[in-house]
Structure 1
Amino acid sequence: MFVRMALFVMLAMLRPAWAESMTIYTEHFPPYQFIQEGKVVGINAELIMLVCERAEVDCELELLPWSRSFQLTRQHKLSGLISTARYKEREQQFKWVGPLVKSTSYLYRLKHRDDISLTSLSDATRYTIGIQPNDIYEAVLLKHGFEKGKNLLNVSYKNADMQLFIKGKLDLIIGSPLTLNYQIHPLGFAFDDLVPVLEFPLDVQGNYLALNAAFPEPLRERLQWTLDSLRVAGDVDSLIQKYQVAQTAMN
């Protein structure tokens, strides 16, 4: 009995400090992550918390504005950020676990705006779009000739562009079939009120959990292995289905 207790204490002392807990920052962006009844829920929020549970890591989700979440993840070793687009310019800024769930993005117009017709993103410079500063979409738009303050309006928070779009103060909006219904429904509109006019050219590997660059590699590997296992078991598809059902109920 004494030997068993001594072994237990020794193993507890040898357990790495980084395995105790971590904070995962995110923003309001349904259905990937959002607040419901005081709790952070959503496809990727629930997926990551399931990963943490199965990997036996104590994770806390904290929902903040995107810029603040991004900054805190860069500052704190035991932290991560969802849902983060992974692309070349960001590759060395973080360590990565994923991919999580994502959907193809398009440029949309309102149904009655049949004056808008696009064959390329450069064509879209004739119209106005809103985007958060430092968003991946902003970098792409700037590369294709958009100018801040002219045809590219920076908004302070996610979905602020949708409100301006619905009021006719923006011509186009960027979104996906998976996300837009959640954004437009609270404003009294339906997804059918929107028309996709161009697939958005986005060279990314998908949505990921972006970890601080100094995050312990053995723990990152454990999280990745657990995510891969959940995908094989069908848990990822089940979460997508759960929120697609909820989306259908809105219409």
Structure 2
Amino acid sequence: MRTSCLLLSQACLVLSLMTPVSLLQAQTLQVYTQAWPPYSYYIEGKLTGYSTELLQAVLQEAALDANYTLISWNRAYQHASTEANTLLYTTTRTPDRENLFEWIGPIGIRKLWLFKLKERTDIQIKDKEDLKKYKVSIVRDTSSLKLVMERGFFPREQIDEAPTTASNVKKLFFKRVDLILATNGGANYELSQLPYPKDAMEPVYLLNDEFLFYFAINKKTEPVIIEKIRHAFEKVRASGLIETLKKKYMID
């Protein structure tokens, strides 16, 4: 009897010591993102982009497996904010989201630019008051739209909403709007996919650059997994990969 108890105690000790390793081997991280070039998008059947390549390097360093799902931003955010062992990217770290996730990063600065057609010399923006003269298109259900609405940069009736940055760029060339709101990398990528000169569109006003991009992890995720990712990110950042990828994808 004493021998059986001793063996059972030893077995429990071994299992407790193995738990973190076993957990990491058995756990597959569920990763959610949206189609948002140049940060995350499919090309020739492969998920790629600035944030995608960076995250893949981090998870490889952390020795973690992941399932990637590219869906609408609303659905991606819903999954990541409610399900354990999930990661969301590319995510703006804002005060209202601060306590909802564990944050890994930063992975970049969110610079929101207003773009116009270069030929539209009638559009002149010197300060925020000038914004109220023009119609702008912004991707719906984003922190960018929320920021614009909360701070009253544009009258509500002059804000047009679109599903993607690609839609916004097309609206600009069809002259359905005067301005679009986008990151420099996002706007340049979408322009490169259209039959227009590279300089046909230009940034005219930096609307906001106070927030940063991060990887966001659901708080119910196992702590050992979060710490593995956090440690791996620091190693990848020290390697210089972030700057390399910024040049590759023309991220400012």
TM-score for the superposition, normalised by structure 1:
0.85
Give the corresponding residue for 1:144.
152
Give the corresponding residue for 1:215.
221
- Summarize deviations over 1:119-169 as a string: whole Å, max 9, x none: 233421221112233211112211225344x11112123421111111100
User: Aligned equivalents of 1:144 and 1:14: distance in 2?
Assistant: 49
Q: Which one-letter code corresponds to 1:201 in the other structure? A: N
Q: Secondary structure at the match of 1:191?
A: coil
Q: Is the 8 A contact 1:69 1:81 kept in 2?
A: yes
Q: Is the 8 A contact 1:83 1:208 kept in 2?
A: yes
Listed as ranges, the gaps of 5+ residues in structure 1 are 1-5
Q: Which one-letter code corresponds to 2:198 in the other structure? A: F
Give the corresponding residue for 1:174.
181
State which of 217, 223, 231 in structure 2 corresponds to 1:225.
231
Count of equivalent residues: 237
User: Aligned equivalents of 2:47 and 2:124: distance in 1?
Assistant: 38
User: Aligned equivalents of 1:46 and 1:23: distance in 2?
Assistant: 16
Cα displacement (A) at 1:117: 1.1
Greater strand fraction, Structure 1 or Structure 2: 2
Q: Is the 8 A contact 2:92 2:110 kept in 1?
A: no
Among the aligned pairs, what percent are the same residue?
Answer: 24
Listed as ranges, the gaps of 5+ residues in structure 2 are 1-10
User: Aligned equivalents of 1:86 and 1:189: distance in 2?
Assistant: 34
Give the corresponding residue for 2:106.
99
1:62-101 → structure 2 map (5 Å cutoff):
62-101=69-108
RMSD: 2.3
State which of 107, 125, 130 in structure 2 corresponds to 1:123.
130
User: Aligned equivalents of 1:31 and 1:14: distance in 2?
Assistant: 35
1:1-251 → structure 2 map (5 Å cutoff):
10=15, 15=21, 17=23, 20-102=27-109, 104-142=111-149, 143-148=151-156, 150-204=157-211, 206-244=212-250
Q: Is the 8 A contact 2:165 2:186 kept in 1?
A: no
Q: Which one-letter code corresponds to 2:83 in the other structure? A: H
Q: Which has the larger radius of gyration?
A: 2
Q: Is the 8 A contact 2:82 2:218 kept in 1?
A: yes
Q: Is the 8 A contact 1:140 1:202 kept in 2?
A: no
User: Aligned equivalents of 2:240 and 2:20: distance in 1?
Assistant: 34
TM-score for the superposition, normalised by structure 2:
0.85
Cα displacement (A) at 1:182: 0.8
Cα displacement (A) at 1:103: 5.6
